[in-house]
Amino acid sequence: MSPGRAQTRLALAVLLIAFFITEGPLSPVQVGLIDAFVPAYVTAMFVNDSITAVLLFAQFPVLRSHAPLAIASGYLHGVRRHPSVLALSSLLCSPNQSDKAKSSPETTKTR
């Protein structure tokens, strides 16, 4: 069922009001920096994609179609490529030796 004329007008009015509020009086407002925002967002995306992949893999034997399997494989590949997974793998590796060389006293001496 498509929305009626009144519902379309109401949706457009709400959208325009929200746009003018954020672009008008609230545009000079600077939001403070939240350091935990990006890790929390990435974690939520990781959990969301993981759950979606598991649910799609569970649909494969029920539907007997290869489409959910292909989509689930794509989600699983995306889960493996998340920055949180990459950060875990970088924590397990040895630290970068070039960072230590930059801060060592021998490299800062002048001749």
**Total count of domains within the chain:** 2
Whether 63 and 16 map to the same domain: the answer is: no
- Predicted local confidence at residue 93, as pLDDT: 55
- Predicted local confidence at residue 96, as pLDDT: 55
Tracing tokens 């930059």 back to the chain, one arrives at 102
- Predicted local confidence at residue 53, as pLDDT: 92
Whether 25 and 38 map to the same domain: the answer is: no
Q: Are 53 and 72 in contact (CB under 8 A)?
A: yes
Question: Per-residue confidence of the chain (111 residues) as pLDDT tens digits?
Answer: 888 999 999 999 999 999 988 888 877 878 788 888 878 888 888 889 899 999 999 999 999 889 999 999 988 888 777 665 556 555 555 455 445 545 555 555 554
- Predicted local confidence at residue 41, as pLDDT: 82
Question: Is 9 a member of any domain?
Answer: yes
Q: Are 43 and 84 in contact (CB under 8 A)?
A: yes
Question: Is 106 a member of any domain?
Answer: no
The one-letter amino acid code at 63 reads L
Whether 42 and 81 map to the same domain: the answer is: yes
Instruction: Collect contacts of 31-36 with beta carbons under 8 A, ≥24 apart.
Output: none
Domain range holding 84? 33-94
Whether 9 and 38 map to the same domain: the answer is: no
